[in-house]
Structure 1
Amino acid sequence: MQFTTPLIHGRLIKRYKRFLADIELENGETITAHCPNTGTMLSCSTPGSPVALSLSNNPNRKYAYTLEMVQDNSTWVGVNTAKTNVLVAEAIRTGKIKEFDAVKEIKREVKTSVHTRLDLQVFTENVDIYIEVKNCSLAQNNCAMFPDAVTTRGTKHLTELMRLKEEGENCCIFFLVQRMDADHFTPAAHIDELYAKTLQEAKTKGVMVLAYQADVQPEYIEVNRPLTVRL
């Protein structure tokens, strides 16, 4: 995914109210940006961190700037979770996800029960599969981790994948690691023990567990390689 216009650089003053971040731009101006991330951004919300922003030309938006990435541990971290499904769908469509080939169709936001939607349903020549996508921005000691906060919703998605698998459907939980300083993935059991246990159960019951890494740069974000998953 290429950014169609150059991102604007600055430094993070603070992130607050979950969806807002105050930024000092390179020209010294202070602005408030929309922060499209429901997580805690545990390792990438330190005041003073370099950031990159997009600027909308929509005059009706309350906050014209959007926080796209934050630099942590000398690596850019993609924090705009609104782009996560787009990135994964693009990678599947272009053949970068080796587990899915000969893709014929990709559906988005697929309703699987009264109260649940999953991110993607991929149809290939040989199989169709439901995929729930999670954005991973947390990393410590070269290990990417999810979640960065307790996620009841995330556990619910795993339960739904297991239900579908028991009904004979193909299912996958896909972690997109949007930072380059990790060489493997593991669930953050120290943050959400139930999620980690449920992920292990889902794997045991046949749900595919994948983690792929994205190269995050101010000019582009590109899914580029699989990571080893350690449960």
Structure 2
Amino acid sequence: MRFESQLLTGRLVKRYKRFLSDIILDGSGEEVIAHVANSGSMMGLKDEGLKVWVSPSNNPKRKLKYSWEMLEVGGAMVGINTSRPNKLVEEAIEAGRIPELTGYETLRREVKYGQNSRIDILLEGPNDQLTYVEVKNVTLARQQGIAEFPDAVTARGAKHLVELGDMVKEGHRSAMVFLIQRDDCDALTLARDIDPKYGKIFDEAIAAGVEVYAIGCRLTAEEIIADRPIAVKC
């Protein structure tokens, strides 16, 4: 996925009200407000002075001109914009980078299913074969090389696991794909201390037949590509 416009670099002042951040742009020294498309805690990713990348927009209807896209922490590049993962996983599936999810005739996004939900990706094959794919963005890493999910209590994430299990009971395939949007991790585990209930429901979903995959990203100021398998150790 290539960025639509050239990213600008800056330094983080603070993140606040969940969806806002103050950033001082390099070069001009201008302090701007950037949208934070991330409802998680962003643990370890919001210290003052971190180098960040923002995308500008010329859309006059937008309230904020800038969106916070990436940051650098401890030598690692991390993508925090949660509007990107579905597209990144879609590209990975179509490029055959998640072999277990290849061979389907069509791929659709945001299809209604379950209890008033929308599945991130629905794969459709011959003979009405359906695979429901839920995508989760992962940015937390408290141990070197180990990505963790979630970084905050996620009732919505638990609900999605239950609904994926329901699809398996109806005779379909279901898969959870964790997108590790950072370039310094080679394994994924659950942050069970942060959300024990999610961990319990995750175990129940696996027992019910929900498949789990993880894929890592290569991040630059020009593009993000989900291109390498990540070991799942949950």
After TM superposition, the score normalised by the length of structure 2 is: 0.95
Name the CA distance, whole Å, in 2 between partners of 1:44 and 1:220: 20
Please tell me the residue identity of whatever aligns with 2:82.
T
**Residues 115 and 163 of structure 2 are in contact (CA less than 8 Å); yes or no, is this contact kept in structure 1?**
no
Name the CA distance, whole Å, in 1 between partners of 2:66 and 2:224: 18
- The 5-angstrom pairing of residues 115-130 of structure 1 reads 115-124=116-125, 127-130=129-132
1:86 match: 87
Name the CA distance, whole Å, in 2 between partners of 1:151 and 1:222: 26
**Structure 2: gaps (5+ residues):** none
1:98 match: 99
- Cα deviations by residue, 1:71-100 (Å, 9 ceiling, x for unpaired): 112111111101110111111112111112
CA root-mean-square deviation: 1.3
Please tell me the residue identity of whatever aligns with 1:105.
T
Name the CA distance, whole Å, in 2 between partners of 1:228 and 1:144: 10
Aligned mate of 1:205, from 204, 208, 219:
208
**Residues 22 and 32 of structure 2 are in contact (CA less than 8 Å); yes or no, is this contact kept in structure 1?**
yes
- The 5-angstrom pairing of residues 127-146 of structure 1 reads 127-141=129-143, 142-146=145-149
Name the CA distance, whole Å, in 1 between partners of 2:126 and 2:189: 31
**Which is worse superposed, 216-225 or 102-111?**
102-111
Three-state SS of the structure 1 residue aligned to 2:163 is helix
Name the CA distance, whole Å, in 2 between partners of 1:163 and 1:97: 23
- Cα deviations by residue, 1:11-55 (Å, 9 ceiling, x for unpaired): 100000011000001021100001111111112111110000000
Aligned mate of 1:227, from 225, 230, 233:
230
C-alpha deviation, 1:9, in angstroms: 0.2
**Residues 36 and 81 of structure 1 are in contact (CA less than 8 Å); yes or no, is this contact kept in structure 2?**
yes
Three-state SS of the structure 1 residue aligned to 2:158 is helix
1:77 match: 78
Whether 1:113 and 2:123 are equivalent positions in the alignment is: no
2:29 match: 28
**Structure 1: gaps (5+ residues):** none
Aligned mate of 1:177, from 157, 176, 180:
180
**Residues 101 and 124 of structure 1 are in contact (CA less than 8 Å); yes or no, is this contact kept in structure 2?**
no
Name the CA distance, whole Å, in 1 between partners of 2:232 and 2:97: 18
Count of matched residue positions in the alignment of Structure 1 and Structure 2: 231
Please tell me the residue identity of whatever aligns with 1:15.
R
Whether 1:147 and 2:136 are equivalent positions in the alignment is: no
**Which is worse superposed, 55-64 or 105-114?**
105-114
1:162 match: 165
